[in-house]
Every structure is written in C-alpha cells, then in structure tokens.
Amino acid sequence: MTNTTGIAANKYVSLTTYKKDGTPKPLPVWIAELPDGRVGFTTSPDSWKVKRINNTPKVTLQACDMRGRIEDGAVEVTGTAALGTADEMRQVEALIKEKYGFAVTMIKMMNTVRGLFTKAETQSEGAVIITLD
C-alpha cells in the first residue's frame, strides 16, 4: 500500500454526502488509498450513501473517531465520488483488508449473522472511489 500522509492515513474518516435538498449526511468509513492517489471504501451498491453520491458526487472527508466525531483541527478534504468498477472493488477490498486486518473479518462475520435476520444486503459488494480535489 502507498505510504500516505493524506486523508487515507486516518483510521476513520467522516464522509459527508449530500441529499437532493443539499442537507449534509456525514458518517464514518474505513478508507484506503489507491496507487494512483484516489481513495476508496467498500459499501453496498444499494446503500443510501451511494444513492446520494449518484445525485450529488461532491463529497467531503475529515478525520474522525469510530463514531464519526470530527477530530480537533481535522482538515476538510473535498473530492468527487463515484461507484467503482468490479476491478476497483477488488482493489479497494484488498487494500482495506491490508490496512484494517482482522477487523474486516469480524465485520463480515457480524454482517453474515445480521443477514440471517434481515432481507437487506449485509455485505459490502461495491466500492466508492473518490478523486480528491
């Protein structure tokens, strides 16, 4: 993985997407840097954040804690997001596994169990790719 000193160096990043009316919707995500300098994260292609990105691709990113609380002095980074290709999904998934290790396995196991009780998609089978400004 690229030795980054930018936004992807953070363990958690608050991703802000925007509703059609312009209302910001921040949430914490795991993020990884692609070799070409873009960043990405995995998600369900049917997630609300993907729906918002399809309407308004401009996003902001800031370092945060696991609950999405912005870190003191965190710099806001802007970019343009889009649902990635299948190849980009595999690349981001591998980079996320490399960066976050066993925690990825634990999340997948919890999502599998959750999937036994819901009809919603519980696994991240897509990737959002962000080109930073």
Question: Domains of the chain: which residue ranges?
Answer: 8-132
pTM (two decimals)? 0.81
**d(C-alpha 5, C-alpha 23), whole Å:** 30
- Provide Rg for the chain, Cα atoms: 14
Domain 8-132 is classified in which CATH homologous superfamily?
Electron Transport, Fmn-binding Protein; Chain A (2.30.110.10)
- Four-point Cα dihedral 72, 69, 35, 106, nearest 10: 140
End-to-end Cα distance, the chain: 21
Q: What does the pLDDT look like over 89-121, one tens digit per residue?
A: 889 888 988 888 655 556 655 655 655 666 555
- And the tokens for 38? 């873009």
Calpha distance 67→132 (Å, rounded): 23
The candidate with the shortest Cα–Cα distance to 16, out of 92, 7, 37, is 7
Reported as a single tens digit per residue, the pLDDT across 20-67 is 999 999 999 999 999 999 999 999 888 899 999 999 999 999 999 989
CB 38 within 8 A of CB 6: no
